[in-house]
Amino acid sequence: MQTLVIEDNENNMVLISRILNNAGYWVIQAETGRTGLQKAVECEPDFIILDIQLPDILGSEVVQQLRREGITVPVIAMTSYAMAGDREKLLELGCDGYIEKPIDPMLVIEQIKEVIER
């Protein structure tokens, strides 16, 4: 199973990529929202991990554009953006799940599987 991780923080990218690789997922990486959109179209991942605070466009814009492009794979917001109502807003915009940072390496694969197996 292949996943696209859209994350601008190098440490977070390394951590989530290692966790996913160790669980048997093949990871495609994108450091910006625009690159992530391009790779989502080109690579057709099975699911997407999406940071919300990206350097070029917000993750909320990325998920809206993905949905407009007809990309229906599960999108999981993985963010430290944890204000009241943020989770609900992201789900309304088209995300299928929400995982708060800092992630728990012991639980994150379970959290991801819960979303992608729905």
| Bridge partners, 104 (sequence order) | none
Q: Where are the beta strands (DSSP E) in the chain?
A: 2-6, 26-30, 47-50, 75-79, 97-100
Tell me the CB-side half-sphere exposure of residue 12, using CA atoms within 13 A. Answer: 21
Are 90 and 98 spatial neighbours (Cβ–Cβ below 8 Å)?
yes
Q: What is the mean pLDDT of residues 33-45?
A: 96
What the chain holds in terms of domains, given with CATH numbers, is 2-116 (3.40.50.2300)
pLDDT tier, 102 (very low <50, low <70, confident <90, very high otherwise): confident
Q: Which H or E run includes 86?
A: helix 86-93
Q: Is the pLDDT of residue 70 over 90?
A: yes
Residue 83 has what pLDDT? Answer: 64
